[in-house]
Structure 1
Amino acid sequence: MTIQPAKLSDPVVRAFVTAVNSHDRAGFMELLAPGATMADDGSDRDLPEWTDREIFSSRGHMDVDSESDGGRTLLARFRNDTWGEMRTRWSFTVEDDGRISRFETGQA
């Protein structure tokens, strides 16, 4: 059963999923702390290049199946025009100022 983005527990993660699904690059970037980092399948990636390729240029979309860790860890079906759909895990580090300093994703 899919969790609607508006029902996600953590407001920052909720905004992240909403920005991804609405292809709102500016809104997405505003959620990231200066110097934010990310990893895909355990390897650190160049965040601007990765998000452009995997989310924005390829029309990425997240359907969240479950959340844990107070809403900071998600299991989701992620799809884009490059890879199709895959089951993925996302985890987020959110700073006190409400911005994401790191997120990690990978196949679940």
Structure 2
Amino acid sequence: MTIQTAKLSDPAVRAFVTAVNAHDRGRFMDLMAPDATMSDDGSDRDLTDWIDREIFSSHGHMDVDREMNNGRDLLASYRNDTWGEMRTRWHFEVSEDGRISRFETGQA
């Protein structure tokens, strides 16, 4: 059962999923702390390169199935034009100003 994006608990995570699904790169970048980092399947990646390749140029889309840790951890079906659909896990760290300082993703 998919959780409606508007019902996700954490405001920063909710905005992240909304920006991904709307293909709104500007809004997405506004959510990121200036020194934000990320990892994919346990390996740190260049944030800008990764989001352009895995989200925005490949039409990424998240359907959240479950949230844990007050909304900072998600299990989601993620799909894009490159890899098709896969079950993924996401972990978010949010700074005091409400922006995302790090996210980690990978296959679930």
TM range (shorter): over 0.9
**In 1, Cα distance between equivalents of 2:22 and 2:4:** 13
Note the alpha carbon deviations across 1:60-91, whole angstroms, 9 max, x for none: 00000000000000000000000000000000
Counterpart code for 1:27: R
The ranges of structure 1 where at least 4 consecutive aligned residues each deviate by more than 2 angstroms after the TM superposition are none
Residue matched to 2:50: 50
What are the equivalent positions in structure 2 for 1:1-108 lying under 5 Å apart? 1-108=1-108
Number of residue pairs matched by the alignment: 108
% identical aligned pairs: 78
Note the alpha carbon deviations across 1:45-67, whole angstroms, 9 max, x for none: 00000000000000000000000
State TM-score, norm by structure 2.
1.00
Q: Give unpaired runs (5+ residues) of structure 2.
A: none
Q: What secondary structure is seen at the aligned counterpart in 1 of 2:39? A: strand
State TM-score, norm by structure 1.
1.00
Q: What secondary structure is seen at the aligned counterpart in 2 of 1:96? A: coil
**In 2, Cα distance between equivalents of 1:16 and 1:34:** 15
**In 2, Cα distance between equivalents of 1:101 and 1:94:** 5
Counterpart code for 2:98: G
* C-alpha RMSD over aligned residues: 0.3
